[in-house]
Structure 1
Amino acid sequence: MIAWMACMTGFILDLIFGDPVWLYHPVRLIGRLITRLEQLSRKVCRDRDRRLLTAGVLMWVAVCVVSAAVPWVLLYGAQSIHPAVRYVLESFWCYQLLAARSLGRESRNVYRELKEGSLAGARKAVSMIVGRDTAALDEAGVIKAAVETVAENTSDGVTAPLFYMMLGGAPLGFFYKAVNTMDSMIGYKDERYLCLGRCAAKMDDVMNYIPARLSALLMTAAAFLLGMDGRGAWKIYRRDRRKHASPNAAQTEAVCAGALQIRLAGDAWYFGRRYAKEYIGDDIRPVEAEDIVRAGKLMYGTALLALLLFGAWKAIAIWML
């Protein structure tokens, strides 16, 4: 019951306040642990592929166990003091683990720069939320990058952590964040991380498999409720949801493209190298800055539907027990 209440409270706090940037975020501690273990692994393995593969598995286990065990122990201690202490602590962590308001705010920064006529400012703003090279993007490229990251992170930053927190409280939420952070830091397919990051990349695919598909279905429902092209969202989802190297990334991106009646994805540059990608969606109309706002509304609608669905499921499970 406390975990359920904490998830609901954390979600509301995130919608109101967004990420508390004034406070050191626990995910940064996870990132520091990953960096230290990577340094140790490379020192021991000395670029030997089989050793790096093994080290990657051991890194994944160590980071995930520590990330879940520490909050579990602290919540156990808080519970021994008083259930209210645990509720406050877990609510705050749930609040930190969600990113709806922050995602909306950062994408709005891109929109604001575009409306003010500053393409350079928009490129800088979008570089804060995407991993691709942004220096050479034109206005349409900036808009597409912002819309794509809002669509994809609707699952990674909102519905997926909410799903796991409803399932196992803040400790399981931290477990998910550890998996997600490892993938973002070392889960690349380049020469440096192909072996060391393979386990991190594969396990991120596993952890996001169900949440990504639930997010896509909820986003389609949100498109209907918000008066967007719900039929188009469903059509493009069924057709284009596999058009990505990741089995999960195109799920919500396809829905968003269909709902907004625009074409997303296509080739992109990362670290000075061009990567060929298939297009997602139909080029029914040109992209425009307002699409960033529409994608944000779609994200919030999806998040609220996820809260209602996961919250009701958790409440029923508690009642049945």
Structure 2
Amino acid sequence: MVRNAYPTFMQGWPMYFELALLAYLLDLIIGELPGKHPVMWMGDFISAFERRFYRDRILTGALLVISLLALTLLIAVTLAYLAGWLPAWLSLPVLAVLASTGLAMHMLHASVAGLLTAENPRQALSYLVSRDTQAMTETDVHKAALETWAENLSDGVIAPLFYLVLFGLPGIAVYKAVNTMDSMIGYKIERYFYFGKVAARLDDIANYLPARLTALLIIALADDRRRAWQCCRRDGGKLESPNAGFPIAAMAGALGVALGGDASYHGRIKRKPVLGLAVNAVNSTILKQALNMKTGINLIVLGILAIGALLT
């Protein structure tokens, strides 16, 4: 089945549950593989294009998007096709190892949990978020960590799995390219206002369904599901991003805390709405409670992938 999946891709719409299941297990057990991560290669391409061709114009940004997506798709399809001709016992593991580089549950959880024991939490947080962290209070650090955990459950786990299941290795590779471009040039600052517009809009489209699926997953694991659902419905669409607010609002409701609010980006205060209800204070205990959701998330995700693998 694996051998012929990619050569016959255009003859049907195979679902890659088995591949996604093994890739997710590899990420949970092993985490980041040694060597230069594919996202870093993508970042190098984006930086090189920007140095050579940068103009703050929509067309220039669109050319970057087209170039990186075309190159990523070509490489991913080639690798997937070649893997399809390996012996059956080897092809699936090879594809799973490649696909696991697009998943980040192990790294995301470890990075956010590391803030609890870091000697300098503000500096450690600066590697995870784009906002300014130097003047943050302890509460601010914990709030940013919760928001990072919630938002990146979508960007780093559910969204790549979603596109891996639907389109195999090319799907997860293209998604990571879109997400990487957004994280590097998708900001509404002077330099990227037009140059990053296409990348930002494409990322909004790619994350529309995964963000809402992530919110539902968080709600399912909440002690007070009703409150989590109500917060998600009421506050999910309040942020400038059409997607990020949903998992963050669901997390706020699940924990009974208020997230969001004004934050400093690139030296400027950005006014942002508050999501959730401040029933509980944001502290290390609340952050640990959020991180403990990892077990439930893994069980649900693995269960869905396993059922899908059995039925397809």
> What is the TM-score normalised by the length of structure 1?
0.88
Instruction: Tell which deviates more after alignment, 292-301 or 279-288.
Output: 292-301
Give aligned pairs, total. Answer: 299
- Letter in structure 1 aligned against 2:38: P
Instruction: Return the alpha-carbon distance in structure 2 between the equivalents of residues 36 and 73 of structure 1.
Output: 24
Quote the residue 1:297 is aligned against: 292
Distance between the aligned counterparts of 1:131 and 1:290, measured in 2?
A: 24
Maintained 8 Å contact 1:242/1:250: yes
Q: State the match for 1:10 in structure 2.
A: 23
* Higher helix fraction (1 or 2): 1
Query: Are 1:199 and 2:204 matched, yes or no?
Result: no
Give 1:28's aligned amino acid.
M
Q: Counterparts in 2 of 1:67-146, with a 5 A limit?
A: 67-113=72-118, 118=119, 121-146=120-145
Map of 1:213 onto structure 2: 212
Structure 1 residues 181 and 123: CA distance shift in structure 2, 3 A: same
Unmatched segments (≥5 aa) in structure 2: 3-15
- How far the C-alpha of 1:112 sits from its partner, in A, is 1.7
- Cross-structure match for 1:237: 232
Q: How does 1:49-60 map to 2 (within 5 A)?
A: 52-60=57-65
Q: CA deviation at 1:74?
A: 1.7
Q: Equivalent residue of 1:80, what SS?
A: coil
Percent identity at matched positions?
Answer: 38
Q: What RMSD in Å do the two structures reach over aligned CA positions?
A: 1.7
Give the TM-score normalised by the residue count of structure 2. 0.91
- Evaluate the alpha carbon distance shift between residue 308 and residue 69 of structure 1 in structure 2; reply closer, same or farther with a 3 A threshold: farther
Within 2, Cα distance between the matches of 1:280 and 1:131?
19
Question: CA 1:192–1:303 in 2, change beyond 3 Å: closer, same or farther?
Answer: farther
**1:79–1:85: 8 Å Cα contact kept in structure 2?**
no
List runs of 5+ in structure 1 lacking aligned partners.
Answer: none
2:250 aligned partner: 255
Write the deviation string for residues 41-63 of structure 1: whole angstroms up to 9, x where unpaired.
22xxxx4x5xx211211211111
Q: What's the CA shift for 1:314?
A: 6.0
Mean CA deviation greater in 33-42 or 303-312: 303-312
Conservation of the 8 A alpha-carbon contact between 1:144 and 1:264: yes
Larger mean Cα displacement after TM superposition, 132-141 or 299-308: 299-308
Deviates most, 76-85 or 272-281: 76-85
Paired with 1:125 and 1:19, the residues of 2 have a C-alpha distance of 18
Query: What whole-Å deviation, never above 9, does each CA across 1:28-80 have from its counterpart, x for those lacking one?
Result: 111111112222322xxxx4x5xx21121121111112112202102212222
Q: Is the contact between residue 166 and residue 314 of structure 1 (CA under 8 Å) also seen in structure 2?
A: no
Tell me what 1:276 maps to: 271
